Amino acid sequence: MSKKHARVREEPPGAAQDVTQKKAEKPAARPGAPQSKSMPRKARGVKRDRSPCHVENDSIIKQMLPSLNKKRDKVRGIRTNPEVPRLVAKVCKEIGKGELWLGPLPTAGRMQRITNVKHSIQIHCFKRGPTEVDVQRGEGGELIPGTMPFRCEMSNTRQRLTDMRALKPRVINSLRQGDNAYIHCVSGISRAPVAAAVLASGLMNISFERAKYIISQVRNVDFRRKSEEELQRGWGTILHEAVPTTPSPTGFSCRTSNPDEVVVHATRTVANSLEPICRWKKGVAGKQDFKRDTITVPTIEEASNQFGGTFCANCIPLLRASLALDVRRCYR
Ligand SMILES: [Zn+2]
């Protein structure tokens, strides 16, 4: 048995449970809270691993639009001299949370500006990986450190739909839980803006037209150009597909009854009982065997340090990108 497991055993299970239960119960005090505009009063005291509240409309970006429009570049960007990254969608009130940024291919020279915002997702809108594309000789594309990469191959009529369908739920759920995403092509004025409009439409529950209007206010994108028509075709079904909401975990838990086979789940408290997010659709039956002898910590890092074991493979795809990256970092 490893030291990690031994430590779990040393904890008097009853006492540990009491502490974690108390912590975990706090968010449940306001079950209908996620839609409210300000942070729920009770959630404020819980510092770690709390995802902020989000809106499912364009009220936040709408308010920011006049000032964002004033900052729009005077001249339309080009490949070697693109417009800087711009905020095109936002669903959390807090600065630097729930934001979708649209810009050019990240390069070494542009990286600092891009990483001023802490992104957990990078979406590139062409076939090859970002590092296989150059702006010009000697100026190559890069991956943004600490992000989960997604592709949306915009120039391929069929592939772009497949790619978008694969990335949309993870991106939307991550942003609603406070993560940020950076979407780009090479110059950020044609392919990525259309993909960004599709995402923004789903994220903020607005029409494709409205999403394109917002983007055209912050970047010199002209969606009415003849050359832009093809990119905007075929999105009908995806635009109307509802994105299943994945729950935001409030802690990370494992059962203490079998210290030799520790599996850590992302959990949340529903009606005062602890529920692994991988079983969130299974209702009461799914919760049954997670009722007793569990121990919960607020972060993945603490789970890794205190419990060790393995992380539940079914929970990982349901985590917002930043947490899935934490799992990858702490549970390699
Ligand atoms: Zn799980």
pLDDT in tens, 58-67: 999 999 999 9
Distance CA 159, CA 228 (A): 17
C-alpha of residue 36 to centroid of ligand 1, in Å: 28
Instruction: Please give the pLDDT value at position 41.
Output: 39
Q: Is residue 34 pLDDT above 80, yes or no?
A: no
C-alpha of residue 274 to centroid of ligand 1, in Å: 12
**Using 50, 70 and 90 to split pLDDT, how confident is the model at 6?**
very low
C-alpha of residue 168 to centroid of ligand 1, in Å: 22
Q: Locate tokens 């969130």: which residue?
A: 280
The angle formed by the CA atoms of residues 62, 65 and 66, to the nearest 5 degrees, is 125
Q: Give the domain 59-240 fold.
A: Protein-Tyrosine Phosphatase; Chain A (3.90.190)
In degrees to the nearest 10, what's the CA dihedral of 315, 117, 37, 241? -50
Q: Locate tokens 């996620």: which residue?
A: 34
Q: Is residue 43 pLDDT above 60, yes or no?
A: no
C-alpha of residue 14 to centroid of ligand 1, in Å: 22
Cβ neighbors of 160 (< 8 A, separation 6 or more) are 152, 153, 154, 195, 234
Distance CA 214, CA 88 (A): 7
pLDDT, mean of residues 86-95: 97
Cite the beta strand spans of 185-311 per DSSP E.
Answer: 251-255, 263-270, 273-276, 294-297, 310-311
Instruction: Please give the pLDDT value at position 227.
Output: 87
Q: Is residue 47 pLDDT above 60, yes or no?
A: no
| Residues 53/35, Cβ–Cβ less than 8 Å | yes
C-alpha of residue 99 to centroid of ligand 1, in Å: 27
Instruction: Please give the pLDDT value at position 288.
Output: 59
C-alpha of residue 313 to centroid of ligand 1, in Å: 7
Helices (H), 205-292: 208-218, 236-240, 283-287
Q: Which residue has the higher pLDDT, 297 or 47?
A: 297
Q: Locate tokens 């020279």: which residue?
A: 109
C-alpha of residue 122 to centroid of ligand 1, in Å: 26
C-alpha of residue 218 to centroid of ligand 1, in Å: 41
Instruction: Please give the pLDDT value at position 281.
Output: 67
Distance CA 109, CA 281 (A): 45
- The model's pTM is 0.83
C-alpha of residue 265 to centroid of ligand 1, in Å: 4
Residues 132-144: tens digit of each pLDDT:
999 999 999 999 9
Distance CA 160, CA 166 (A): 10
The angle formed by the CA atoms of residues 125, 248 and 163, to the nearest 5 degrees, is 20
Instruction: Please give the pLDDT value at position 50.
Output: 59
C-alpha of residue 123 to centroid of ligand 1, in Å: 27
C-alpha of residue 143 to centroid of ligand 1, in Å: 29
User: What single-letter amino acid sits at 218?
Assistant: V
| DSSP 8-state secondary structure symbol assigned to residue 322 | H
Over pLDDT 70: what percentage of the chain? 82
C-alpha of residue 169 to centroid of ligand 1, in Å: 18
User: Which tokens hold the place of 204?
Assistant: 């903020």
pLDDT, mean of residues 74-94: 96
C-alpha of residue 280 to centroid of ligand 1, in Å: 9
**Using 50, 70 and 90 to split pLDDT, how confident is the model at 269?**
confident
Q: Which of 316, 302, 313 is nearest to 253 (CA)?
A: 302
C-alpha of residue 112 to centroid of ligand 1, in Å: 36
C-alpha of residue 205 to centroid of ligand 1, in Å: 29
C-alpha of residue 24 to centroid of ligand 1, in Å: 17
| Residues 113/72, Cβ–Cβ less than 8 Å | no
59-71 vs 208-218: helix axis angle to the nearest 10?
30
Distance CA 19, CA 32 (A): 24
Name the residue ranges covered by the structural domains of the chain: 4-50+248-330, 59-240
